[in-house]
Amino acid sequence: MPYIPGSNQNDYLQGTAGDDLIETFAGNDTVNVAITIREFVANGQLIRVPIYEPDDDGSGNDTIWGGIGSDALSGGIGNDSVNGEADNDTLWGGIGNDTVNGGDGNDIINAHQEYVVFRYEGQDYLDSYLVFDEDPGDDFFYGGNGDDFIYAGNGRDYIDGGAGLDVLYLNTTAYTSNLTVSFTNAANPGTVSTGTQFTGIEYISVTTGNGHDTINLSAFVTGTEVNSGAGNDLITGGTGGDYLYGDAGNDTINGGDGNDSLNGGSGNDSLDGGAGNDTLIGGAGNDTLNGGSGIDTASYQTATAAVNVNFSTGTATDGQGGTDTLISIERVIGSKFNDTLIGGVGNDSLNGGAGNDTLNGGTGNDTASYQNATAAVNVNLSTGITTDGQGGTDTLISIERVIGSKFNDTLIGGSGNETLEGGSGNDTLNGGSGNDILIGNSGNDSLIGGTGNDTLTGGTGADRFIFNSLTQGIDNITDFNVVDDTIAVSAVGFGGGLVAGAAIAASQFVLGTAATTSNHRFIYDQTSGALFFDQDGTGVSAQVQIATLNIGLALTNADIFVNA
């Protein structure tokens, strides 16, 4: 057997037509390969992989050792042993019954259509997806200790991910018969009716063909992804967050535990979210959407016409000619058309999406959500009119809670006890009358409690808590930050000689329980958190509590600003 050694430089080594022993040393070496670039999409991401393909002259049963350095090694034709050893290597077994060992480093290992055994350590990437869709080879994969991505197809493969967080992409679209994929007991390997078995896999993505497939992945705990193709399929997810898509056909999809996304596709489908906060998309057809336990959402974002959803009757016309049955659904997202969403007796969440929508909460404490808006929204519960940030004007009826967008929203309450919640923008929240809850979340927000004893939470950012009247109530400010936040009061609404356009003077502020000079106007009790206003500082006019802050704050006059 000829021995072909490399050097410590970057070498290109070519085998003979016979059986060779090729050994590289330090340096980034290339053995028997030509390079092309392949692109493919995996889990929604574009991946570019350099493919090192064997030259025509590399026949023979070769043994190749990569040594130190990032090597590109190919066995060519024959039953080869290709060993990457140290560093980040790209390895090709070539044609024949090969053994490919990545060794240390983050390696790319390329399969062929013959019998191949892979052994590797590190964070390695296999591109066998590129060839297994073309040829049903019978292959063995050993993942080693790294976090691996393994692509398998239509052959009878044995796949062991080994240690680490391993991902299996299983594509059997060329298999036209009814397919079964089963992993129901973590103690046993998963099986595919093509003959494939897999173990040591933490996440699986399955794409099948057009048969009536049965896919049960209930033993997975970290999430699964299934696209079952056409056919009347039975799909069961695991205990993690699953994405399960039935495509065409009358499918039965069970999410199991976890926060799942179930999509029936076209056909008369039955979707059961199970435990967790699930999103259910029936698609076209007369579908049954059962959210199970948790806070579950029926989504009609892909509808091709307006939808009419009624939680009271448990039915929805889906905008695609079908009528859905809704069970244990707490939230709904409408289409981009003019939808009518009606709540039931519970606490429902209605999201109309784009279009001129009517949102009627019914009984209970119901929410109008604009979290998906593409621009700022303006909501007024007093008039019941909303500009939805997507070019539409919504009508709100019996809505007690509003969730804004990630833009700079204006949310105004009505006469009841409402909750207004901004998003990540610089929002203005005005509770109106009633004992309201205002939540700014992130951004530099302005919170106006209005009349009533309101609860104000600014969230992160430099927030302003605005008091327009001395008699509007006692508001609870839950998270006042003396570094970032400001209390703003009205000179007209408070009186007491306040001068608009600046913070109050140091002489107008005191820590304690009562004014001690005639100049004192604002009194903060560090023990109770109470903030008082005294119009004259003499006791002739009794001090009035306007807010409750956290106790022990290092509040000063600089934290209180006077508006006009």
Beta bridge partners of 321: none
**pLDDT surpassing 60 at residue 434:** yes
pLDDT confidence band for 122 (50 / 70 / 90): very low
Of 379, 434, 387, 388, the closest CA to residue 412 belongs to 379
Residue 148 is assigned to a structural domain of this protein: no
Predicted local distance difference test score (pLDDT) of residue 530: 99
Predicted local distance difference test score (pLDDT) of residue 165: 85
Average pLDDT of every residue of the chain: 87
pLDDT confidence band for 264 (50 / 70 / 90): very high
DSSP string over 134-196: TS----EEE-TTS--EEEE-SS--EEE--SS--EEEEEETT--S--EEE---TTS-EEETTS-
| Percent with pLDDT over 70 in the chain | 80
- Parallel, antiparallel or unpaired: strands 522-524 and 530-533: antiparallel
More confident of the two residues 139 and 406: 406
Predicted local distance difference test score (pLDDT) of residue 49: 43
**pLDDT surpassing 50 at residue 135:** no
List, for residues 197-241, the tens digit of each pLDDT value.
999 999 999 999 999 999 999 999 999 999 999 999 999 999 999
**pLDDT surpassing 90 at residue 289:** yes
Contacts of 327 by beta carbon, 8 Å cutoff, 6+ apart: 288, 289, 290, 291, 314
Predicted local distance difference test score (pLDDT) of residue 525: 99
List, for residues 349-361, the tens digit of each pLDDT value.
999 999 999 999 9
Predicted local distance difference test score (pLDDT) of residue 130: 32
Residue 123 is assigned to a structural domain of this protein: no
- Rounded mean pLDDT, 291-308: 98
Predicted local distance difference test score (pLDDT) of residue 36: 46
**pLDDT surpassing 50 at residue 119:** no
**pLDDT surpassing 70 at residue 16:** no
| Residue-range definition of the domain harbouring residue 226 | 210-300
Predicted local distance difference test score (pLDDT) of residue 114: 40
Tell me how many domains the chain contains. Answer: 1
Predicted local distance difference test score (pLDDT) of residue 125: 44
List, for residues 359-389, the tens digit of each pLDDT value.
999 999 999 999 999 999 999 999 999 999 9
More confident of the two residues 472 and 38: 472
Predicted local distance difference test score (pLDDT) of residue 66: 76
- Rounded mean pLDDT, 175-190: 94
pLDDT confidence band for 267 (50 / 70 / 90): very high
What count of other Cβ atoms lies within 10 Å of the Cβ of residue 6?
23
Residue 259 is assigned to a structural domain of this protein: yes
List, for residues 48-105, the tens digit of each pLDDT value.
444 444 444 456 777 877 777 777 777 767 777 777 777 777 776 666 666 666 666 6
- Please give the sequence-ordered ranges of beta strands (E in DSSP) within 321-441, or none if there are none: 323-327, 331-333, 340-342, 349-351, 358-360, 367-369, 378-380, 385-387, 393-397, 401-403, 410-412, 419-421, 428-430, 437-439
**pLDDT surpassing 90 at residue 21:** no
Predicted local distance difference test score (pLDDT) of residue 110: 57
List, for residues 516-549, the tens digit of each pLDDT value.
999 999 999 999 999 999 999 998 999 999 999 9
Residue 547 is assigned to a structural domain of this protein: no
- Rounded mean pLDDT, 297-314: 98
- Alpha helices of 11-162 — where are they, by DSSP H? 129-132
Residue 144 is assigned to a structural domain of this protein: no
Residue 282 is assigned to a structural domain of this protein: yes
pLDDT confidence band for 5 (50 / 70 / 90): confident
Residue located via tokens 């000619």: 321
Predicted local distance difference test score (pLDDT) of residue 86: 75
CA–CA distance from 333 to each of 276, 293, 351, 391, 481 (Å)?
A: 18, 19, 5, 17, 36
| Percent with pLDDT over 90 in the chain | 68
- Torsion angle of C-alpha atoms 429, 431, 432, 433, degrees rounded to 10: -170
